[in-house]
Amino acid sequence: MQEDSILVPKIEVENTAPATPGSQSQSIPSQPQAFRPQKQPVNNIPKTKNFPWGKILLGIAAFLVILLVYFGAVGLLLYKSGMKLKSSITALSQTVKSKDLGKIKSGIEVTKSDLNSFDYNYKLIAWAKVLPWAGGYVSDVGHVVKAGQAGLDASDIVLTAVEPYSDILGLGGASVASQSGLTGGAQTTQARIDFIVQTVPQLLPKMDSISADMKVVQNEISQIDANRYPVSFRGIQLRSQIENGQNLVDQVSTFLVAGKPILQNLPYFLGMDSPRTYFVLFQNDKELRPTGGFMTAYAIMKVDKAKVEPVLSDDIYNLDAKYKPTTPAPEPIIKYIKGPYIISQNLRLRDMNWSPDFEVSMNQVDKALSTVGVNNIDGIIAVDTQTLVNLLNVTGPIGVPGFGTFSTQIDPQCNCAQVIHALEAYADVEGPIIWDPVTGKIIHEPQNAANRKKIIGPLMNSVLANAMAQPKDKLASLFSAIYSSITEKHVLFYMTNADMEKAVTDFGIGGTINEDSSGDYLSIIDANLGGRKSNLYATEDVEQDVNVAGDGTVTKTVTITYKNPQSQDGWLNSVLPDWVRVYVPKGSQLISSDGLEATQAPYEDLGKTVFAGYFQLRPEGVSKVTFEYKLPFKVKGQYDLLIQKQPGTDDYLYTINLGKYSEEFYLKTDKEVKIGL
């Protein structure tokens, strides 16, 4: 019996080569693919390949080393070029003080060259601004560089523009003026002004280039986030300095842009085409009123081809005696001034500067003047006693024929400038003016009351004559005194021509309330309603505590501390009855107030909400007034505040507290504050 054979599949490597003829080998017939046995790897243990972590780490380390070396080398280049740039900037600032135009221009060229070298090295790391954390600081350096380049270009244009007037402006170097015979210390201010006015049209085309460069500066500086930097560094208030620099750039840029219309219309203001007539209003800031002081006297002034000639001067009371009041007076004036308002409650001409907006007040004054024979005036210029002090600080003592010599030397009788004491003495050395309660006419006035109107004309003539006769070495100081008087609101302008008034307002010398401010706003307006000349001594400190909630809601507490350190003398210093108004953003809600003897319900005026009330400040006394209120909007990212200064005031201390941020400053001009949240 033959055993059944068992077929076992034979596993062998398939030979794909074709069989040769006569081959003895036989192969098993092919099976279907689905049943074909799978080939097994010769080595059944899989091979594992090691991941090259070492090489990767080594590559990263090499990259970091290269990057470190790169940044070290570039950093060294930046440091060297930065120190060189710092040195040239320091040298330039010293050269500017020398007032040598040629050296200043050379210094600018050196600084521009060093700045460009620094910029070349900076571009080697400019790409790093995309990096987290450090990128912001790298980007800020780029903004500063671009702003510096544009600023130096603008400075170069300015110097080129004023080069023809270098001698007139007291700068060294040859000029067109020297060829015109205007050199030498003996040349008067008037001759220099005449020359400048005649050549102003040549300056206007350059204003556009200067403005364009300043817009670049403004744009670059505004992109720097001051909150990225510490509040202080090695005793330096770093963050506030950055913010102050940004605000200064904004102000300069705005000044240049708004200054062009003034330059364009300068021939109009100075009567180059036709004589202009100005009503000069003297405001006594020692008896503070909303637009800067009690309107005590006036003068009519003619300006013809830049030459000023006073026509007449008089006491405001004499002008007021001709006026027939028709407009109801504000309630505080009626209640606290009394006097003529006992007979008639209509507003007197001398009290018409009740609105803190100079344009609004002078529009009313202008209409009243036309009813008393003062017609065809082109504008009203208000000046206060501080302007007189600023000018006398430059000219030195001046003599006024028939009245003596006036100076800014401190007079111990009043602890004030001698000229201030003299003017007040001429006005009412024996006491106040008294009105008849029935007729409203003056029944008693001090012996020297008439001298007040007599001295205005001669004093104005003497001041103008001395100012216009100053030699060139005093010219810069004279212009500085006039500039500070204007920017600090000791001189205000109102023009009857609408286009000229817009130019004045846009330039910021019209004393108007800013109705378009989009952020927070504050303006504190005080009115002395019968406190003699107590504002000669009264001061005020203003503290703002700002609380921003998590949802952006803003609650503020404004505390005004009034002080009068001088003793009562029965003449200049007495109890000060003050009506205070606090202008805040429209829609603000008053939460509480404190320190007022009488209050008025919040109301709207000039696009703002107003909190108001009455208190008294006694000699050697302190009064504190507080307002707590909620702003009508929420803030996010940044808190913006515009503070507008009351005309006629000076150097009031302001403090702002917001969280950890705190800043103190003396308010000499309108000020913008920006605080990152």
- In order of their start, the domains of the chain are 125-264 (no CATH), 276-506 (3.40.630), 520-676 (2.60.40)
- Inform me whether the pLDDT recorded for 641 exceeds 50: yes
Classify residue 244 by burial, with Cβ atoms within 10 Å: 0-12, 13-18, 19+.
middle
In whole angstroms, what is the distance from residue 555 CA to residue 546 CA?
6
pTM for the full predicted model: 0.79
Could you count the other beta carbons within 10 Å of the beta carbon of residue 507? Answer: 19
DSSP character string of 82-151: HHHHHHHHHHHHHHHHHTBHHHHHHHHHHHHHHHHHHHHHHTTTGGGGGSTTHHHHHHHHHHHHHHHHHH
In whole angstroms, what is the distance from residue 374 CA to residue 151 CA?
47
Classify residue 655 by burial, with Cβ atoms within 10 Å: 0-12, 13-18, 19+.
middle
- Residues 154-200 have pLDDT tens digits of 888 888 877 776 665 666 654 444 444 444 444 566 666 777 777 67
pLDDT score, position 533: 92
pLDDT score, position 25: 44
Q: Which residue has the higher pLDDT, 245 or 5?
A: 245
Q: Which residue has the higher pLDDT, 517 or 54?
A: 517
pLDDT score, position 20: 45
- 3-7, 32-36, 160-164, 205-209: which range is least confident on average? 3-7
The mean pLDDT value of the chain amounts to 84
- Inform me whether the pLDDT recorded for 464 exceeds 50: yes
DSSP character string of 5-59: PPP-PPP-----SPPPTT-----PPPPPGGGSPPPPPSS-SPPPPPP-HHHHHHH
Tokens of 18: 């074709």
- Residues 77-107 have pLDDT tens digits of 888 998 999 899 889 888 887 778 888 889 9
- Residues 254-263 have pLDDT tens digits of 777 777 888 8
- Inform me whether the pLDDT recorded for 373 exceeds 60: yes
